[in-house]
Structure 1
Amino acid sequence: MPRPAQFAVFGHPIAHSLSPQIHQAFAQQFGIALEYRTIDAAPAAFADAVRRFFDDEDGRGANVTLPHKAAAFALAGERTQAAARVGTANVLTRLADGRIAAHNTDGAGMVRDLTDRHGIDLRGHDALMLGAGGAARGVAWSLLDAGVATLTIVNRSPEPADALADAIGEPSRVHTRYWEDLDNIGSYDLIVNATSAGTLGQSLTLPFSLAASRALCYDLGYGKSAIGFLAWAQAAGARYAYDGLGMLVETAADAFELWHGKRPDTEPVYRSLRARSV
């Protein structure tokens, strides 16, 4: 029998990833045979690992997560408009001519999770983004496209936050503040945790004053990595507190459609994963 088509997700760490389960579940909907695995690559080894996967292992497509999204964008020979706008990639696809194409579906997946699955209207929200790395870049433009009124970006190192705000180029809507000012910058009705703290097992100490009375708090991570932020959100009195499991499933569906030309039904897969995590 011929070897099934090869797919993977690159990250560091990556053993916790649910992506293999999600893509196998999608494949079952269409009777598609594929192999999908996790590949743990340290930053210095990432580019070589990607080339080996596509060139030597006949890889057809890969998802990319922390901390490689900027590096994935840099090594691609072709970039979609969405990837070019944010400067990062969460999906790589091998083209017919052997080049690698970069896509970014993070923002679209997050907005679809919030609006379609959870019924949230993002228009008019004053949003606070914690973090300014690849994950933050992936969703910042989409939040603005979805109609948030303002976006304030705060990062432990101020330079990446300033660079992201400059790249967006909407000074009337997008602002930056210092991490040290979190105690006195007021409250927000949408707070997005785009830091890597949870994934790296680090604590995230935040003042309760950040959360407005009807705040929506959203962690781009899921599972154990989101527990600390969601606990803070609930203690702060947020009305809604969601992790990024739905975003993960939605972005996986976008990648699956890119690779296979078929759009999977995300809801049964999301419900199955959510039931296991309760």
Structure 2
Amino acid sequence: MKKWFAVIGDPIAQSKSPEMHNAWYEEGNVDATYIPIHVKPEHLQQAVASFKLLGTSGWNVTIPHKQTIIPFLDELDELAEKMGAVNTVVRTAEGKLKGYNTDGPGFVKSLEHAIGTMKRDAPILLIGAGGAARGIAFALQLTGYKNITIANRTVENAQRIIDDMHAGKAVSMQEAERSLANFEIFIQTTPAGMTTGDFALPFSLEKFPAGAIAADIVYNPLMTPFLQAAEQKGAIIINGLGMFVHQGAIAYEHWLGHYPNTNAMIARLTAQLGGNYVNR
């Protein structure tokens, strides 16, 4: 029987997930399809019930449903439970709905695809304290990264993540800006630089250390102001496209049991968006 998968959100037309997953199905000769479904917040519970009734094998979840979907699921994996957010739902063999979050692990795979695994002891500055930052912080910690500082305009929000991790340090944006030379890896998780948001820097990179690694989770545009400024300071830069592809690949693996070709997909989407994934 043909399998079907979906991505739900509000809005949803901008998602590149259907193109990505359907290309993987074709490439792997998988008898499946993946569709975008616009679900408004007030219809979320009905949508989940409909998916169970109609026999979907799983689906992805994007804004604004990543937290609000949790009460409608049967169980969560460890990372999704710690994060309090779900971006992937799997229908198990028993018919239960299990929630996962692949965003943080997708970022870590993207990072290590670019720089390898030798930097796990390096001091990291994580910029922002929203849901993406929380997921990345926990995924980094679970992978073995030990030295994490989180900077945010509202320090209390950063401190909550640090408290939940039982490790690391929370600082203000101003304190982070003054101490940029103390870090080797910078991860920008705020919406700053998105084509739909403020095309701006989270703070000045005047003291940014040459040779550091600068990553941004935004992939449209590929070159955000943060990455542009970091590259001018001699940084190795990594845009958000790898995170997007790898989080989708981890979801694919949960559903179908094997990891798809991420290198070809990154190259394909990079060609569409224009630019480079990593500048080396």
Alpha-carbon spacing, 1:217–1:73, altered in 2? closer, same or farther (3 Å)? farther
CA distance in 1, matches of 2:110, 2:11: 24
Higher deviation after alignment, 115-124 or 137-146: 115-124
Task: Please tell me whether the aligned partners of residues 87 and 137 of structure 1 are also in contact (alpha carbons under 8 angstroms).
Answer: no
Number of matched pairs? 271
Q: What percent identity do the matched residue pairs reach?
A: 30
Q: How does 1:105-254 map to 2 (within 5 A)?
A: 105-119=102-116, 121-170=118-167, 174-187=168-181, 188-199=183-194, 200-205=196-201, 206-209=203-206, 211-224=208-221, 227-235=224-232, 237-254=233-250
Task: Please tell me whether the aligned partners of residues 189 and 211 of structure 1 are also in contact (alpha carbons under 8 angstroms).
Answer: no
Partner of 2:56: 59
Greater share of residues in strand? 1
Q: Write the letter of the residue equivalent to 1:177.
A: V
Q: Which runs of 5+ in 1 are unaligned?
A: none
Partner of 1:14: 12
Alpha-carbon spacing, 1:217–1:186, altered in 2? closer, same or farther (3 Å)? closer
Deviations 1:99-139 (A, max 9, x none): 32111222322222222344363222211111212211111
SS at match of 1:258: helix
Higher deviation after alignment, 158-167 or 50-59: 50-59
Partner of 1:32: 30
Q: Which runs of 5+ in 2 are unaligned?
A: 275-280
Q: Write the letter of the residue equivalent to 2:13.
A: A
CA distance in 2, matches of 1:11, 1:167: 28
Whether 1:79 and 2:73 are equivalent positions in the alignment is no
Task: Please tell me whether the aligned partners of residues 221 and 273 of structure 2 are also in contact (alpha carbons under 8 angstroms).
Answer: no
SS at match of 1:101: strand
Partner of 1:23: 21
In the superposition, the TM-score normalised over structure 1's length comes to 0.85
Task: Please tell me whether the aligned partners of residues 54 and 94 of structure 1 are also in contact (alpha carbons under 8 angstroms).
Answer: no
Deviations 1:174-216 (A, max 9, x none): 1111234443243322111112334441233321145322211
Partner of 2:89: 92
In the superposition, the TM-score normalised over structure 2's length comes to 0.84
Deviations 1:201-259 (A, max 9, x none): 12333211453222111111212276233223223x14211112112222211111211
- What RMSD, in angstroms, separates the aligned Cα atoms of the two structures? 2.6
SS at match of 1:176: strand
CA distance in 2, matches of 1:227, 1:13: 22
